[in-house]
Structure 1
Amino acid sequence: MQIDTLSRRLIDRFQHGMPLCAEPYRAMAEALDCSETEVLACLERLEHGGGLSRIGPVFEHSRAGASTLVALAVPEARLEQVAEHINSYSEVNHNYLREHHYNLWFVVTGPSRAHIDAILAQISAETGLEPLDLPMQAAYRIDLGFPIGEAP
């Protein structure tokens, strides 16, 4: 995917700190000295080109409810079916295939730990697989961002 100058500037400026206001795309446009229409078109191009997966906040899970990392050991023949089933839960916000005995890893969030426990019990009953529940013990914050700067 070719990234144009506006896309580069938008990514560098707004990977972190999207404006919290009634018209965030207009505020982004003003900061980038372009139109709101150009910002929205740029975001759409990035999404359709596979360079953008989502726009939204990242919440401190412990203030918004509860979450846990979960792993399943899924037989290869059932992998697609089980992954699709896991993805059907609105409480699941990430789902990854890994090279390991525990090959399907996902994050479950909910309003309470009891809600998460109920979801994990339901997944176990529906799949016949036992979820490995890996709740976070401590958070180590990193500023994950990838400045891309000017085109080479």
Structure 2
Amino acid sequence: MDMGSLARRLMNRFQHGMPLCPEPYREMASTLGCDEEQLLECLRHLDRSGQLSRIGPVFEHSRAGASTLAALAVPVERLQQVAERVSQYPEVNHNYAREHAYNLWFVLTGPDRPHLDRVLDELQQDTGLAPLDLPMLTAYRIDLGFALGDAP
């Protein structure tokens, strides 16, 4: 089976609605007409090549605890070091650089707001940089799926 074709079909079909069952990869493979090992090898290939950044659910954070968008204004020469420190926290589920005075942005999710405050305080102590804390006030639902064209 052509890996490129399988990858396109996999990403088109399962950007949303991954099976909730004891063997999701087997179910996905069955849906795509391949075996589970082919599907897993395709996922490993996508991961190694940088075409896939994560596989997993997206939770409604307000039902699972607390969440906030945060940013740091990091001197360019410290950006890699500070980004690695931020990424060490299991509460961080996105961490990315941007071209702006606040050049390191990340999302924190935790059990409650005081927990997030402790993480932000600890980061400030560790880095000497004051986080910009931007909690969500209004939710806007957008579909982040992208059709990859015809997938035979």
TM-score class, shorter: over 0.9
Q: Deviations over 1:33-83 (max 9, x none)?
A: 221111111111111121111111000111111110001111122222211
Q: After superposition, where does 1:31-110 map in structure 2 within 5 Å?
A: 31-110=31-110
CA contact (8 A) 1:5 1:150 kept: no
Most deviating of 129-138 and 36-45 = 36-45
RMSD: 1.5
Measure, in 1, the Cα distance between the counterparts of 2:84 and 2:35: 39
Residue 23 of structure 1 corresponds to which residue in structure 2? 23
Measure, in 2, the Cα distance between the counterparts of 1:79 and 1:42: 33
Q: How many residues align?
A: 150
**What is the DSSP-based 3-state SS (H/G/I as helix, E as strand, rest coil) of the residue aligned with 2:136?**
coil
Measure, in 1, the Cα distance between the counterparts of 2:38 and 2:44: 10
Residue 142 of structure 2 corresponds to which residue in structure 1? 142
For 2:63, the aligned partner's letter is R
State the TM-score, normalized to the length of structure 1. 0.93
Q: Deviations over 1:84-119 (max 9, x none)?
A: 111111111111111111111111111100000011
Measure, in 2, the Cα distance between the counterparts of 1:46 and 1:78: 30
State the TM-score, normalized to the length of structure 2. 0.93
The change in CA–CA distance for 1:146 and 1:3 in structure 2 (over 3 A counts) is farther
CA contact (8 A) 2:25 2:39 kept: yes
Fraction of identical pairs, as percent: 65
For 2:115, the aligned partner's letter is H
Measure, in 1, the Cα distance between the counterparts of 2:54 and 2:48: 11
**What is the DSSP-based 3-state SS (H/G/I as helix, E as strand, rest coil) of the residue aligned with 1:82?**
helix
**What is the DSSP-based 3-state SS (H/G/I as helix, E as strand, rest coil) of the residue aligned with 1:109?**
strand
Give the gaps of 5 or more residues in structure 2: none
Counterpart check, 1:114 vs 2:114: yes
**What is the DSSP-based 3-state SS (H/G/I as helix, E as strand, rest coil) of the residue aligned with 1:4?**
helix
Most deviating of 77-86 and 60-69 = 77-86
Counterpart check, 1:10 vs 2:13: no
For 1:73, the aligned partner's letter is A
Structure 1 segments, 4+ long, off by >6 Å, are none
